[in-house]
Amino acid sequence: MNSSSRGTGWKPILEALAWLYRDVDDEAERLAALHRARLQCGRGCCSCCVDGLTVFEVEAENIRRHRRALLDEGTPHAEGACAFLDETGACRIYPQRPYVCRTQGLPLRWIDEAPGGDLIELRDICPLNDEGAPIESLPEAACWTIGPFEERLARLQARLDGGELRRIPLRSLFHAQDQSR
Ligand code: SF4
Ligand code: SF4
């Protein structure tokens, strides 16, 4: 998309992103309720908010459109943690936080290829949430499955740029030229 067609082309893509976030949040809430006893996640708990996170352009543009003043006038958090953390350890773009931030803390499962070529299931969880039943013993439906939402997000990004899946560092959104106009 060139800069002018981007202006009109963004609306349906950002609406689709909003739907994707709603679906992610619904499923994350279901799992959070299921694991309420073990989850330590809360405002100010932020060791998962690491520096160097990247997002697709579609998620970057969503942040730009909603948080222009913060990006133009705010100060990024010092390097070593996510640029969007504030001094209390809270997220300054919580409603627009990227997909990857919406599932932090949940038991995660994904399929990977073992060295011999077999497909294996791997699981992980934030160490702070590792108390309780071993996550290996949880049913699949009690874990967040990495893959389907990533594919949906990639399809959304592909609508924007025809397949190029370039990623943008979150930190670079501060004090950058607006590329969408
Ligand atoms: S965008 Fe917000 S939730 Fe995501 S890593 Fe940064 S501070 Fe944490
Ligand atoms: S995932 Fe871990 S570090 Fe992040 S909020 Fe939850 S308990 Fe805290």
* Residue located nearest, by CA, to atom 1 of ligand 1: 97
- Testing ligand 2's pocket by substitution, the residue of 128, 130, 144 carrying the most ligand atoms inside 8 A of its CB is 128
Q: Burial-class residue 55 by CB neighbours within 10 Å (0-12, 13-18, 19+).
A: buried
Checking DSSP bridges between strand 119-124 and strand 54-56, what pairing results, if any? unpaired
Among residues of the chain, what percentage have pLDDT more than 70? 92
- Separation of CA 20 from chain center: 11
145 three-class SS = strand
Among 134-138, 145-149, 177-181, whose mean pLDDT is lowest? 177-181
Using one digit for the tens of pLDDT, what is the confidence trace for 50-83? 999 999 999 999 999 999 999 999 999 999 999 9
Query: What is the C-alpha separation between 168 and 16, in angstroms, rounded?
Result: 20
Query: What is the C-alpha separation between 92 and 120, in angstroms, rounded?
Result: 37
> pTM for this structure?
0.91
